[in-house]
Each structure stands twice: as structure tokens, then as C-alpha cells.
Amino acid sequence: MIVINDGVTPAVGEVTWLSGQILGSSGQPIRNATVEIWQCDGNGAYLHSKTGNREKRDSNFQGFGRFVTGSNGEYLFRTIKPVACPGRCPHIHYAIKVPKQEKFVTQCYIAGEPTNEKDGVFKGIDLKLRKAVEVPWLPMKGSRTDDYTARFNVVLVES
């Protein structure tokens, strides 16, 4: 998501390797789950016509990614560490689609981010469930470019 097509100029932001696993309610990995993420760029602008700060948009940031899981239910995106956008704390949107189930939509937040508690969406999440959507963003061991790593596992309950 940080380099578009054959471009050579990367997006502005702290590079993050965002991974996780899509699991069923009994812990089994889910194969062929489509994981989509979208987020604002390093300037807090989304890649859509109704973003409120379009003039700040980073044209080198893709803003959206899609991954289909393999037999182990794993996914991986190379993106940027989320930043705040107008009226919101840093977050990444997720949509997960599994055959024969309704699409599941959620958001991933940075654990310990001070502005989480001021965010209207985050505050609407039950206190006991907040830990399920907060993940640590950690420096990637051995990275020469100060990349981050974050892992967000999603457990889907069959409907």
C-alpha cells in the first residue's frame, strides 16, 4: 500500500507490516477469507472524493488493500502506521468476507494511543471488548529502516 504500481516514491509515514490470522470460533484457521483494509494516509486524508482534507492527500499512498488467506488463515499488508484523521484517533478499517457468511466489519486501534479514549467510535465499544481491537505497534526486530510490526487476529463467530 505504500508504493503505487511501478512508482518509486513511497508514501509518507512509518512503514508497518500488518499481519494476522482469521480464525473460526473454535480457533481453526479460515482459508479463502477476503481481508480488506482501508485507512487514511500519513496526512490524515482518505482516498475518496468526500474526504474533508483532499488537498493534503498523499498521491503515493494506495489507501486500500485486499488479501485472500491461505490454509493457515494468515494475511499480511505492508502499509503505514495509522495516524489521526479529522475527528478520529488513529485506526485501520477492516472488512472480512468468508463464503456463506455476512461480511464482518471492524476497526483496529493502536494499543496505548492516548487519543483512543476521546474517539466516539472507540468509546462506543464495550470496555471488556476494547482489548480485542487494540494491538501494539512495535519496532520490527532487525529492520534497517525503522519499520513497525503489528498483529491483529480476528475470530469470526459463525452465524
pLDDT in tens, 75-86: 999 999 999 998
Task: Using the predicted structure, report yes or no on whether residue 2 has a pLDDT greater than 90.
Answer: no
Contacts for 19 with CB less than 8 Å, ≥ 6 apart: 74, 75, 76, 77, 149, 150, 151, 152
> What is the structure's pLDDT at 55?
76
> What is the structure's pLDDT at 139?
94
> What is the structure's pLDDT at 64?
95
Give the architecture (CATH level 2) of 15-156: Sandwich (2.60)
Secondary structure element (H or E) that encloses residue 37, with its range: strand 34-38
> What is the structure's pLDDT at 65?
96
Dmax (CA) of the chain: 46
> What is the structure's pLDDT at 57?
85
pLDDT in tens, 99-142: 888 999 999 999 999 999 999 999 999 999 999 999 999 999 99
pLDDT-based confidence at residue 49 (cuts at 50, 70, 90) = low
Secondary structure element (H or E) that encloses residue 104, with its range: strand 104-110
| 131 bridge partner residues | none
Averaged pLDDT for residues 132-156: 94
The predicted model scores a pTM of: 0.92
DSSP structure class, residue 100: T
pLDDT-based confidence at residue 156 (cuts at 50, 70, 90) = very high
Contacts for 122 with CB less than 8 Å, ≥ 6 apart: 89, 91, 109, 116, 130
Residue with C-alpha cell 485501520? 92
> How far is Cα 63 from Cα 3, in angstroms, rounded to an integer?
10
The residue ranking higher by pLDDT, 99 or 48, is: 99
Spans of all domains in the chain? 15-156
pLDDT-based confidence at residue 9 (cuts at 50, 70, 90) = confident
Say how many C-beta atoms besides its own lie within 10 A of residue 21's C-beta: 18
- Kindly tell me the sign of the dihedral angle through the C-alpha atoms of 121, 127, 133, 137: positive
Task: Supply 62's cell numbers.
Answer: 494506495
